[in-house]
Amino acid sequence: MQRVIVVGGGLAGVRAVEALRSKGYEGALTLVSAERHLPYDRPPLSKAVLAGESDDTTVDADWDSLRCDLLLGERATGLRLAEPGRGGVVASTAGDLPFDGLVIATGAAPVTLPGDGRQHVLRTIDDARDLRSRLSGGARIVIIGAGWIGAEVATTAAARSCAVTVVEAADTPLANAIGPEVGALTAPWYAEAGVELRTGVKVAEVRDGGVLLAGGEEIPADVVVAGIGVRPDLSWLEGSGLLLERGVVTDAAFRAHQGEEEPGSARPDVVAVGDCAAWWSGRYGRRLLVEHWDTALNAPDVAAAALLGQDAAYDAAPYFWSEQFGRMVQYAGSHAASERLVHRGDPSGRKWAVVWLTGDRLDAILTVDRPRDLVQARRIIAAGTPVDPDAVADPEVPVRQAVRP
C-alpha cells in the first residue's frame, strides 16, 4: 500500500492518521477535510466553548512527524472504486485523489426542520462561536429537541440569563437515547434551572421570529436552535457501489461492504470509522451506529490495522457522557434488548444510577454524579461477568461487589 487517503477532519480522521503511522505505514498519506480548521474535539463545543470557557479544542497532533498532507477546506464529492483491493479515486474540490487505501471518516450533519427562519445547529466550532455570541441576557431562546445537545445548550443559555424554552416531540427528554422511563427522571432538572420544557409538542416549521407548532401555536424567539439529531454525511458516496444503510455498512473490522452484505463483500482497501460507520458488533449481534466521542477515539486503531491487512475486530461497549444542569451524566453499554430496569439510589436526589439487566447480565448503566459506579460497571459489561441483581440495586454496595462469586 503506497497511498492512503483519509476523508474527514474530525477526531476519527486524525486518529486514523496516527494509527496508520504507529502501525508502520510508510507510504503517502493525505487528510481531506471540508473544514478549514485543523482537526478538533467536538464534545467541548456544547460545553466549554459555548459557555465561553474555551475557544480552541484543536487535537494535539504532530503533523510534521505524521508526514500527512492536509487538504483543509476541501470537500470530497465522489468516489470511483476499482476492483476490490486495487483502490480507486476520490473526487474532490481539490481534484482527483487516487488511492490504494481509503479511510471514510466524514462524520454526520445536523438534521434541520422545515421553514425559512434561521435555525442554529451545533456541530462545528464556528457554529459554537456564533451561537455563543447570541446567548445574551434576556434573549428568547427556543431549543427544538430535549436530547443530549438540547439539554447542554439549555444549560448554558439559562446560565447566561436567557429566557429558554425547550420543545420536545416525545413525551420525555432523552426518550430515544435512554427510554421514556429514565428520560422522565431528568425532566425536573429543566424547571430547576428556570427552563420551560414542553414535551409531546411537534414543530411544524421555523419562521423568522420564532417557531410554529403543529397545533398552530407560535412561540416567539430571538434564536432558534435545532437539536434533533444528525445523519451520516454520505452524499458523496452515492453511486460508489458501497453499501449504505443509515451509515457505511462495515464488518467488525470497519471494512466497507460493496454491493450486498455477504461473505467476501467487505473490501480490504476501504474502511469507515466514526459517526458515519454502521459496524457489526459481535457483542450485541447487530449493527451499531454510535455517534459519540469514545468510538471516534478508539475505533480508528482497529480500522487502520484492517487496512494494513492485520487481523482486527472492534467489540467495545458504547460509552458517552453529558454535562447538563450541573450534573455529570454517563452511560455505558446497550439496553436495547434488556429485560428490566433497576434503580440504584433515589432519582429525586443529586446522585443516582439505573442499570439495565437481562437475567444476571448487566447490559447497561446510566449514572448521575456517580462516576465510580460507571467505571466499575463498564468493566463488568466488557467482561460479561454475572451480577447479583439485588446487590447491584443497593447504592451502598459498590458495583464491583455485586459480581456473583
- Of 246, 272, 307, the last residue of a domain is 307
Q: Is the dihedral of CA 218, 219, 223, 229 positive or negative?
A: negative
What single DSSP character describes residue 347?
T
Within this chain, do residues 157 and 17 fall inside the same structural domain, yes or no?
A: no
Bridge partner list, 18: none
Q: Which of 81, 73, 24 is nearest to 256 (CA)?
A: 81
- CATH code for position 350: 3.30.390.30
Please state, in angstroms and rounded to a whole number, the distance separating the CA atoms of residues 119 and 41. 23
Q: Categorise residue 147: left if φ over 0, alpha if ψ from -120 to 50, beta otherwise.
A: beta
What single DSSP character describes residue 56?
-
Give me the pLDDT at residue 31, please: 98
Q: Count how many domains the chain has.
A: 3
Within this chain, do residues 194 and 340 fall inside the same structural domain, yes or no?
A: no
pLDDT single digits (tens) 146-168? 999 999 999 999 999 999 999 99
In a domain, 315, yes or no: no
Give me the pLDDT at residue 263, please: 66
Within this chain, do residues 247 and 379 fall inside the same structural domain, yes or no?
A: no
> What domain range is 9 assigned to?
3-109+230-307
Residue 296: Cβ within 10 Å count = 27
Is the Cβ–Cβ distance between 300 and 15 less than 8 Å? yes
Give me the pLDDT at residue 405, please: 83
- Of 192, 226, 260, the last residue of a domain is 226
pLDDT single digits (tens) 82-134? 999 999 999 999 999 999 999 999 999 999 999 999 999 999 999 999 999 99
Is the Cβ–Cβ distance between 30 and 111 less than 8 Å? no
Within this chain, do residues 234 and 103 fall inside the same structural domain, yes or no?
A: yes
Within this chain, do residues 119 and 166 fall inside the same structural domain, yes or no?
A: yes
In a domain, 163, yes or no: yes
Predicted structure pTM score: 0.93
Within this chain, do residues 47 and 9 fall inside the same structural domain, yes or no?
A: yes
Q: Which residues, at least 6 apart from 346, have a Cβ–Cβ distance to it below 8 Å?
A: 352
Residues of the chain with pLDDT under 70: 263-264
In a domain, 103, yes or no: yes
- Of 210, 226, 242, the last residue of a domain is 226
In a domain, 312, yes or no: no
